[in-house]
Structures are given as structure tokens and as C-alpha cells.
Amino acid sequence: MKCPGCGTQIQFTDPSKSGYIPYSVYEKRLSNGDEILCQRCFRAKHYGKLEPVEVNDNFVEQVKKALSRVKTVLWVVDITDFEGSFDPDISQILRDHDKIMIVNKIDLIPKAVSLGEMRDWILKQMGSETPDEVHLISAIKGFGIRLLQESLEARSGNFLVVGATNVGKSSLVSKLCMSKTTVTAFPGTTLGILKRRIQSSNSYLYDTPGIKTGRRIIDLLDPQCQKELTPTDHLSRKTFKPKRSGSVLLIGGLCHMVIEFEEKSPIFQVFAPSAAKFHETSQLKYKSFLRKHYGKLLTPPCESSQPPLESIKWQKVSFELQQGEELSIAGLGWISVRRGPFVVEICVPSGITVRKRAGLINPYRDKRRYEK
Ligand SMILES: Nc1nc2c(ncn2[C@@H]2O[C@H](COP(=O)(O)OP(=O)(O)OP(=O)(O)O)[C@@H](O)[C@H]2O)c(=O)[nH]1
Ligand SMILES: [Mg+2]
């Protein structure tokens, strides 16, 4: 028997492992006809806490095995972390399947960006990846769900819902199937494969555990901090206009950058979860500031021990940025350039994806406002 919240096997013997429920509680709920959730999902649902349990970590193998059950997958990505969730390893795993690309969390993008602009931008970012369809949705607000439903109805068969952790797979399944799958802001909530019938249809969706890519800042954090870094209703947007070339901007303790320019001082905005804290300083002072405030004033991380500053191996990359371009830091946020050019020398833990891309938030529309 599987837990209907996370899809893991129910067991009565080991509270430290996934799927545990005390036998007495199980019997009581069974006799009352109540829903039988594992202890972890019960507490996530009622107390908003996701307890750490030992899990069978080989989610990639679980997903690969489940792929044999379907012809078509719904590959869910997060528009607020496109580089972090449109992951090359996931693309590789899905290479032999028909793909419907689901671009979720569009409610977090500023309203000034139209659906058409988002779609064009997504298609550009996907490069040679050519899914059968692309749907822009908000699983939470319900945008785009009806069109997706119609499109699934027009195809026959069942669909596997796949993607990186925390992109909103279970939220989507809940919306399409009116199911009670556990949804939390903790990445790694779903632990097994869950089969759910699509509302008023004979087709099924399989919800799957998220794939932890290891290339996102969020992947380096403990679960509580990952939760704090998951934006649910808005992203923070802050404008910077460094006066001196050589200024340093710290975005939390796990990302800092030196900004260099020749003529006009640059203007850029940083989009990130509101739990990410910023600090502007000089090259002379930033190291001592980082040491002193890492995991305290400078979040993420949310604690100075997770991960310890001394344990981090850094990678440094330089980019020249022009007006209209963006620099994304996977699992953290992005910089949108309003006035350039300037050079950013960015430092993040090694293995984290940092990429220059065309702007999603079009700066030309606001040009006059910033040129004054
Ligand atoms: N703003 C916004 N938040 C969303 C949306 N969809 C999901 N979320 C939030 O994102 C977080 C993760 O959602 P889940 O549905 O549990 O994500 P998942 O992909 O199933 O996660 P795992 O099972 O851990 O892989 C939760 O805090 C959701 O509320 C959306 O459309 N908009
Ligand atoms: Mg899930």
C-alpha cells in the first residue's frame, strides 16, 4: 500500500524511514474510513513541516523505469528558474519520449510581460529541444489548465509528469486530477510514483519524485532553507546602480560579483526570492563581510553551517552584459540589465549553472524611464 500523499510504500516498523505510520494510528484511520497518509505527509499537511526521513534516493532510476509505461511525458519546468529546471540530464533521460513542455509558475513573472513574450522567450531558450507542445501555466492560480486539459483529452493514453524538484509537478497533478497529492515548498516532497485519473477522462497522470539536479544553489541548502527560498506568491525585484567600477554585490552568502565598467554607471535589477538578502560593498571589504555575516545577514544559506563557508569550492566566471540581457544563477534568481555595457565577474559554488541569456523582462519598454 502506498501513501497517497508522496507515493512511498507504507510501513509500520521504522520511524526514521519514509512511509512510516504507527500501526495503531493506521488501524484507527482504517476503521474510521479516514485517509491514510504516512506520518511525514500527515505532518507536512497539518503542521507545514517536512520531516527528514531516510529515502531511497535513486529517484532517477524510479523515473526511468516508469518511463516504460508511457509514450508521452509532461516535462515541467519553472519559468522563474528556467536554467535550473530545463536541465540537460533530464532532457537526456526523456530523449526517446514525446514531450509536452509545461512551463509553470508564470504568475510570478511581472504582469508587464505578456504571454506571447514569455512563449517566444521560452522557445528561444529551448534551442534545439523541440517538444510537441509548450504550455505556459500556473498550477496554483489555474492559468492555462483548461487548454492543457483539452490537449491531453485529444491524445489518448497516460502521461508521466517529470521534472526537477519543486517545479510544481504535484501541484499540476492536483489541479488536473483533483487529487490530494502532498504539495509543500520543500523540494523532495514526492517520493514514489503516484497514479491519478485526469478529471472527467479515462487517462491517467503519473506524478513522479523530482530530480535533484545538483546544479542549483537551492540544491546545496537544507530543506528548511530550500523552503524559505521557494517563492510562493511573488519574487523580489531590486534595482542597483553601482557608482564605482569594482563595486561588489553579494546576493546572500553563496553568490557575489564584482561589477566593472568604463563610462556610465550600469543599472540592473535582481529578481530573487525575498528570502535572499543583498549587500553592496567594495572589493576591500567584501571578504570580511562575507565571513562575518554568512548564513546570518547574508541568506541563503539560512545557517552558517549549511554548508560551511570553508567547505565551499568557488568557481569564478566573467560575462560582458549589454542592455536587454540577463544573467541567471540557477536556483537563486537573475539579473536583468537596464543600462550597460558592463562586466560582471561572478563567484558561485563550483558546479552551479550561471548563464547569460536574452532578456525575459524587456528593458526597451522601460528605456525612457531609465535613460533620464
Ligand atoms: N507561485 C506559484 N507557486 C507554485 C506553482 N506551482 C507550484 N508552486 C509552489 O511550488 C512549491 C513546490 O510545489 P510541488 O507541487 O510540491 O512541486 P513538485 O515538483 O511536486 O516537488 P517535488 O515533489 O519535491 O519534486 C510549492 O510551494 C507550491 O505551492 C505555481 O504555479 N505558482
Ligand atoms: Mg511532488
DSSP 253-302: TS-EEEEE-SSSPPEEEEEE-TT--EEEE-TTTHHHHHHHHBTTTB-SSS
Give the Cα separation of 242 and 8 in Å (integer). Answer: 50
Which grid cell is 124?
A: 528561444
pLDDT tens string 24-72: 999 999 999 888 899 988 988 888 777 777 666 678 888 999 999 999 9
pLDDT at residue 367 greater than cutoff 70 = no
Whether 227 lines ligand 1, by a CB cut-off of 6 Å, is no
- Which pLDDT score, from 0 to 100, does residue 193 have? 87
Q: Which of 171, 179, 180 to mutate to test the pocket of ligand 1 (most atoms within 8 A of CB)?
A: 171
Shortest-distance ligand to the CA of residue 194: 2
From the CB of 179, is ligand 1 less than 6 Å away?
no
Query: How far lies 364's CA from each of 320, 335, 339, 369, in Å?
Result: 19, 15, 10, 10
Residue ranges per domain, the chain? 1-55, 59-208, 236-371
pLDDT at site 370: 43
Mean per-residue pLDDT over the chain, rounded: 91
Q: Which atom of ligand 1 is nearest to the CA of 174?
A: 15
CA of 358 to the centre of ligand 2 (A): 30
> Which residue's CA lies nearest to atom 26 of ligand 1?
185
What pLDDT, in 10s, does the model give residues 118-131? 999 999 999 888 89
**CA 227 remoteness from chain centre:** 11
Give CA–CA dist 74/77, Å, rounded: 10
* SS3 at position 194: strand
Of the candidates 214, 167, 228, 256, the residue with the CA atom closest to the CA atom of residue 353: 214
Mean pLDDT across the stretch 348-365?
86
Whether 83 contacts 216, CB under 8 Å: no
CA dihedral 338, 339, 341, 342 (to 10 degrees): -80
CA of residue 165 to ligand 1 center, whole Å? 9
Q: What is the pLDDT of residue 371?
A: 42
Report the 10 Å Cβ neighbour count for 93. Answer: 18
3-state secondary structure of 6: coil
Q: 359 CB under 6 A from ligand 1?
A: no
Distance 266 CA to ligand 2 centre (A): 40
Q: Which atom of ligand 1 is nearest to the CA of 188?
A: 24
Query: What is the mean predicted confidence (pLDDT) over 297-305?
Result: 95
One-character DSSP codes across 42-77: HHHHHHS-----B----HHHHHHHHHTT-SEEEEEE
Distance from C-alpha of 167 to C-alpha of 216, rounded to nearest angstrom: 12
Q: Atom of ligand 1 at shortest distance to CA of 187?
A: 24
* pLDDT of 214 above 50: yes
User: Tens digit of pLDDT for each residue in 215-227?
Assistant: 999 999 988 899 8
Q: What is the DSSP letter of 305?
A: B
Mean pLDDT, rounded, for 280-294 = 97
Q: Residue 257 pLDDT more than 90?
A: yes
Atom of ligand 1 nearest to the CA of 108: 1
CA distance 208 to 161: 6
| Axis crossing angle, helix 145-154 with helix 169-177, rounded to the nearest 10 | 70
Take residue 187 and report the three cell numbers written for it. Answer: 523540494
**Does the beta carbon of 166 lie inside 6 Å of ligand 1?**
yes
Residue count (the chain) = 372
C-alpha dist (Å) from residue 363 to 73, 200, 249: 35, 43, 21
Of 251-255, 275-279, 304-308, the range with the lowest mean pLDDT is 304-308
103 has a pLDDT exceeding 50: yes
Ligand 1 near 170 CB (within 6 A): yes
Alpha helices in the chain, H assignment, sequence order: 23-32, 39-47, 59-67, 82-85, 88-93, 115-126, 145-154, 169-177, 223-228, 286-293, 367-371
- Closest Cα to atom 12 of ligand 1: 166
- Reported as a single tens digit per residue, the pLDDT across 130-165 is 898 999 999 999 999 999 999 999 998 999 999 999
According to DSSP H, which parts of 143-200 are helical?
145-154, 169-177
Instruction: Report how far Cα 147 is from the mean position of its chain's Cα atoms.
Output: 23
Q: pTM for the whole thing? A: 0.90
- Residue 99 is classified by DSSP as E
The CATH number corresponding to 59-208 among 3.30.1050.10, 3.50.50.60, 2.102.10.10, 3.40.50.300 equals: 3.40.50.300
Q: Which amino acid is at 51?
A: E
Pocket probe for ligand 1: among 3, 183, 211, the residue whose CB has the most ligand atoms within 8 Å is 183
CA distances from 44 to 39, 52, 162, 178, 326 (A): 8, 11, 22, 19, 36
Q: Report the nearest-CA residue for atom 21 of ligand 1.
A: 166
Nearest-angstrom CA–CA distance, 327 and 270: 9
Ligand that lies nearest to the alpha carbon of residue 59, given by its number in the listed order: 1
What pLDDT does residue 316 have? 97
Q: Which one of the ligands is nearest to 90 CA? A: 1
